[in-house]
C-alpha cells in the first residue's frame, strides 16, 4: 500500500473499445473520505472510469488500486470495499425490497448481520419493504439501490449519474442520502452532469474531457464557477 490516506490510485490508465480510445493515460488519486464529483460531457469516460474502479470493465493499460489492492488481479479483495449505484437500478423487479436486500446480503455474506430494516428506514422505504420493486417509482428504486450499495458497509461508493430520471423531490432525498454517506466516512465518487449538485455536495471537482483529466481541484466552487471551468475545459456548454 502506498500513501496511508489514499484509497483509490489510478495511474496512467487507458481504455479503448476496439479502436475507439475512451480514456487516455488518466491518473487520479482519491483520499479516504473524499467526495469527488466527476464531470464531463457524454462519452468523456466518466462511467468507464467508475466501471474500471469497480472491476466491471478492465483497463487497456495502466494500474488501478483500491485500498492497496490491484484491479483486476486482486478483484476479490477489492469487491467487498466497493458499493455502486448506477443510473440503472441493479435490482430484481419480481422481488420485494426486502428480498432484494436479503439476496445481495447473502452474496456479500452479511445476511446475518446486515441491518436491512435500518437501511430501509434510512432510505425511507420501511413501509414498502414488502412491495415488489417493479411497482416502485424511479426515485424509490434509486433509494433502494443506495441501500443495496450500503449493505456491506463498503469504504468506497461509486455513483454513476444517480440523478438520471429523478424529479426534484427524489433528487433532494438522494442529496440527503449522499450527504449522510459522506458524513459517515464513505469515500464517494460521483459521475454527474448536475453542476449545482456537484458544487453543493462534493469537496473535489474533477472534469474529464476527451478521456483525460482536464481540471482537478479540491477548492469549494460555486456552480457558476464550475460552469465556467466546465465550458473552458471541455469546450461544451454546461447544463446546470
Partner 1 sequence: MTASFFSVVIAIIQKDLQAELRSRELVATMILFSLLSVLVFSFALELDRVAEEQAVSGVLWVTIVFASLLGLNRSMAMESDNASIDALLLAPIHRGAIFAGKLVSNFVFTVAVGLLLMPLMSLLYNLDLLAWWLLLVVVLGTLGICVTGTLLATMSLQSRSPAALLAIVQLPVVLPILLAAVIASNGIIGGTPNSDWIDWVQILAVIDVIYLSLCFLTFAYVIEE
Among 5, 73, 109, 222, binds partner 1 (CB under 8 A): 109
Q: Are 229 and 206 in contact (CB under 8 A)?
A: no
Site membership for partner 1, residue 112 (CB under 8 A):
no
Length of the chain: 240
- Write each residue from 147 to 186 as x if it is in contact with partner 1 (CB under 8 A), else as -, in one continuous string: -x--------------------------------------
Extract the C-alpha cell encoding 104.
445481495
Q: Which single residue is written with the C-alpha cell 426534484?
A: 168
Query: What angle, rounded to 10 degrees, do the helices at 138-150 and 97-107 form?
Result: 30
Q: Are 85 and 105 in contact (CB under 8 A)?
A: no
Site membership for partner 1, residue 106 (CB under 8 A):
yes
- Closer residue to partner 1 (CB): 15 or 122: 15
Site membership for partner 1, residue 56 (CB under 8 A):
yes
- Closer residue to partner 1 (CB): 95 or 221: 95
Site membership for partner 1, residue 55 (CB under 8 A):
yes
Q: Which single residue is written with the C-alpha cell 430501509?
A: 120
As a whole number of angstroms, the distance between CA 149 and CA 153 comes to 8
> Where does this chain bind partner 1 (CB under 8 A)?
54-58, 76-77, 79-80, 82, 84, 86, 88-95, 99, 103-104, 106-109, 132, 141, 148
Amino acid at each position: 500500500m502506498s500513501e496511508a490516506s489514499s484509497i483509490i490510485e489510478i495511474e496512467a490508465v487507458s481504455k479503448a473499445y476496439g479502436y475507439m480510445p475512451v480514456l487516455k493515460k488518466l491518473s487520479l488519486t482519491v483520499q479516504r473520505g473524499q467526495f469527488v464529483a466527476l464531470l464531463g460531457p457524454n462519452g468523456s469516460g466518466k462511467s468507464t472510469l467508475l466501471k474500471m474502479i469497480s472491476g466491471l470493465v478492465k483497463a487497456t493499460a495502466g494500474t488501478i488500486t483500491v485500498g492497496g489492492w490491484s484491479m483486476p488481479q486482486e478483484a476479490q479483495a477489492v469487491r467487498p470495499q466497493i458499493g455502486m449505484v448506477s443510473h440503472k437500478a441493479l435490482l430484481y423487479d419480481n422481488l420485494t425490497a426486502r428480498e432484494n436486500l436479503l439476496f445481495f446480503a447473502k452474496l456479500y455474506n452479511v445476511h446475518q448481520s446486515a441491518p436491512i430494516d435500518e437501511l430501509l428506514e434510512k432510505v425511507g422505504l420501511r413501509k414498502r419493504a414488502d412491495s415488489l420493486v417493479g411497482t416502485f417509482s424511479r426515485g424509490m428504486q434509486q433509494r433502494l439501490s443506495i441501500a443495496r450499495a450500503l449493505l456491506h458497509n463498503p469504504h468506497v461508493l461509486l455513483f454513476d449519474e444517480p440523478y438520471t430520471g429523478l424529479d426534484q423531490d427524489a433528487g433532494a432525498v438522494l442529496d440527503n442520502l449522499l450527504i449522510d454517506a459522506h458524513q459517515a466516512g464513505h469515500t464517494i465518487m460521483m459521475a454527474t452532469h448536475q453542476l449545482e449538485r456537484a458544487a453543493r455536495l462534493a469537496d473535489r471537482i474533477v472534469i474529464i474531457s476527451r478521456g483525460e483529466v482536464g481540471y482537478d481541484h479540491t477548492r469549494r466552487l460555486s456552480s457558476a464557477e464550475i460552469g465556467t471551468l466546465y465550458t473552458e475545459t471541455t469546450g461544451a456548454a454546461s447544463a446546470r
